[in-house]
Chains A and B, each alone.
Chain A
Amino acid sequence: MTGWMNWAHREARTGWGFASPGLILLAVVMGFPLVYACVLSISSYTLLKPAILPIVGADNFATMMASERFWNATWLTVKYSVITVTGEFIIGLGIALMLNRVVRTKPIYFAILTIPMAMSPVSVALIWRMLLQPNLGIVNHLMESLGLPRLDWLGSPNLALWTMAGIDIWQQMSFVVLILAAGLASLPREPYEAAEVDGALGWQQFWFITLPMLRPVAAITVIIQLINEFRTYDLPYVLTKGGPGTATEVLSFFAYRQAFLGLSINEGAAAAFVLLVIVLAMTVIFFALLERQSKA
């Protein structure tokens, strides 16, 4: 027994030894900025008075929570994330299902689909900003030639968030297509063969076989995209600067505004922390639901 314990102890030590470089790296790369941001969020650190002390506790959070703009930004972030992830998933799944039937030219489709994904969000935003320019942009020109009215894509408070979401969907959809296509390709053939023998129609096969079997992959895709969308910063920064008014001021842009325009790094860090907590909570809930479903 003692010999086994010594062996197990040695094994554990070796394991920790191998894992420690990675753990140290993780602590430095992720842990330090997190702790530092946490300290900043409860400090009095501003760019004009760059000193951590005095610690002000939850004051920065209280100031933020009392601001109407913070709640507006939070609501817009939720709305934006739901719109984009829903759009990406529905369109992405549709394309992935179509691609699932393609055999010979699939790599070509995949290559084309990866192009938007490979582009930086800033370039995407700049390109779309030019395309959607109301007076000189090609989109309105095409709409006019089709007899449709010209639209103020980014200048109308009612349309700007939807336009931004559309651009985001255009770019992020490729990622959803690739993941879902890989998920579809890995599904077993047998249930489909059995369903065909039983005379199941195409939509019945999709509804009762494809969707349930694809659920784990789909869930992961949705959570990854939800996290991505919650953090969106580049698009509002380049396209609208949060405007018109506050129509596109999402939470990450709000945090940036507090930190760099308001020179209050502490309040910016507090806003970023709230964002982190929301994303973490979403991730935990989502994985808990997923685990419960897989057990059921």
Chain B
Amino acid sequence: MMLKRILLAAAGVGALMASAPAYADDIVLRALMEDVPETQIIEAMLPDFEKETGIKVEFEKIGYPDMHDKLVSQLVSPQSYYNLLEVDFLWAGEFPAAGWLADLKPFVEKSNYDLAPFIPSTLDLLGRTQDSLQILPMYNYSMGLIYRKDLLADPKLQEAFKKATGKELAPPKTLADYVEISKFMKANAGVAGAAMQGQRGDPNSMEFSNYLFASGGAYLGDGKKVVLDSPEGKVALDLYVDNIKNGAQQGALSANLDDTLRLMCSGKAFSMVTYWWMLPQIDNAEKCPDVAGKVALTTMPGGHGESGGWGWGIPKNVSPEEQEAAWKFIQWVQSKDVSVARALQGHAPVRSDVYTDAKVLEKYPYYKEAEEIVATGKSFPIFAYSAQYEDVLGTHVSQAGGGEASTDEALKGAAKGLEELLAK
């Protein structure tokens, strides 16, 4: 009798549970995130979102080089483990072409989400078209030059530089000036002239892109014609290789972003071409006491650097409930209030109203320079095989840096590789 009652009660509870609707708080959003300050800033705010909506969000943080493969294996499976995506602009050609992303346009229309404050170039960078929006900008990572003010202001170094070159030691205006100062610092200041990320693949192809744009070169011309193998491209690669060999730290050809950050942070480098939001990390007395207060940010000498950005996407291969929850999160995290709160902690905004926010400018006056870096940035070629092209370009640039190929051969190889992949 007792057993019968227990079974009946259990069946009743089971039936109640089965008939209950799925509440938002049943859903856990899982995202694979790059382990960078932006992610940490958002992660610290996740409890607020959970409190507001009841939706739990979990970030799995890993290094950039491992992200693409890990995401792709989930996106090609019948059901993705990650139901919220952090998408790099380099994948903005590949992911939509493969049909892995849900179109965000219906979500935007349904929720009346205002896209007007988003800087148009950040939307275009991520492949926005008239008919669809597959990725919503998350943050910007245009690249600029971070350098040591104290070394430029050192009277002994100034005198030695004047004697050696006949020029004043000042922030460089051209790429050739920059490489000259970098080499001088290595020879005279007891530091590497440049902390360079020359590891084959994403690190060196992103870094080289800055040299290319700063020299007035480009990857693609009108009608998507490959114009990399140009006199400007040659100047860029010659200067890049010169800096790797004579200005950079030892081991530059195997260094990635983390290595260069550590080097700059330890005070053993004069400069680094890097993402502009690295400045608050380096200019931080707690994290980098050796250089805090001694560093400044500027646009890439020559006027143009590499532009880049991350966005939010929603995979197609998750349930509609998960997609709704993911959209709720994206709206929240990119809202003005949350964006300003993020910016106050060093976030690189994609909304123009955040760059002009008084509180943000008061705390970080260099956001003016940052806005210029974002405005003048140029993009790496975005198409279905961008990730592969990074490897192709990276291999040729690395071979030139390591002396295994001449800069002419490397440039021709890189241009041919781009043509082949565009035709694929």
Contact = CB atoms under 8 A, between A and B. Distances in A.
A7 interface: no
B97 interface: yes
B76 interface: yes
A256 B200 CA distance: 15
A291 B325 CA distance: 64
A153 interface: yes
B254 A154 contact: yes
Contacts of A240: 199-200, 254
Contacts of B165: none
B353 interface: no
Contacts of B402: 155-157, 244-245, 247
A151 B388 CA distance: 31
Question: What is the size category of the interface that chain B forms with chain A?
Answer: 35 or more
B361 to A, nearest CB: 36
Interface string A211-248: 00000000000000000000000000001111111110
Contacts of B251: 133-135, 152-155
Contacts of B174: none
B391 interface: yes
Contact of B401 (A242, A244, A263): A244
A78 interface: no
A245 B405 contact: yes
Interface string B243-268: 00000011111110001001100101
A262 interface: yes
A167 B98 CA distance: 39
Interface stretch (B65-73, B129-137, B146-154): B65-73
A182 interface: no
Contacts of A30: none
Q: Which of B94, B201, B385, B398 has the most chain A CB atoms inside 10 A of its CB?
A: B398
A134 B387 contact: no
Contacts, number: 102
Contact of A261 (B262, B263, B388, B405): B388
Interface string B191-211: 010000011110000000000
A33 interface: no
Contacts of B68: 260-261
B395 interface: yes
A244 B266 contact: no
B69 A260 contact: yes
B303 interface: no
Contacts of A47: 72, 76, 98
Contacts of B69: 256, 260
B92 interface: no
B65 A244 contact: no
Contacts of A239: 254
Interface string A123-164: 000000000011110000000000000101111110010000
A48 B97 contact: yes
Contact of B98 (A48, A134, A153, A243): A48
A136 B198 CA distance: 17
B117 interface: no
A241 B255 CA distance: 11
A155 B388 contact: no
B403 interface: yes
A241 B253 contact: no
A250 B422 CA distance: 26
Contact of A245 (B65, B97, B263, B404): B404
17 contacts: A47-B72, A133-B251, A135-B268, A152-B251, A154-B254, A157-B404, A160-B254, A240-B200, A243-B254, A243-B398, A244-B198, A244-B253, A245-B405, A260-B69, A260-B72, A261-B391, A263-B384
The 10 closest A-B CB pairs, nearest first, are A243-B200, A134-B251, A245-B399, A155-B254, A155-B253, A154-B254, A134-B250, A244-B253, A155-B251, A157-B402
Given A133-B259, A134-B251, A245-B200, 5 more contacts: A48-B98, A134-B249, A155-B198, A243-B398, A244-B399
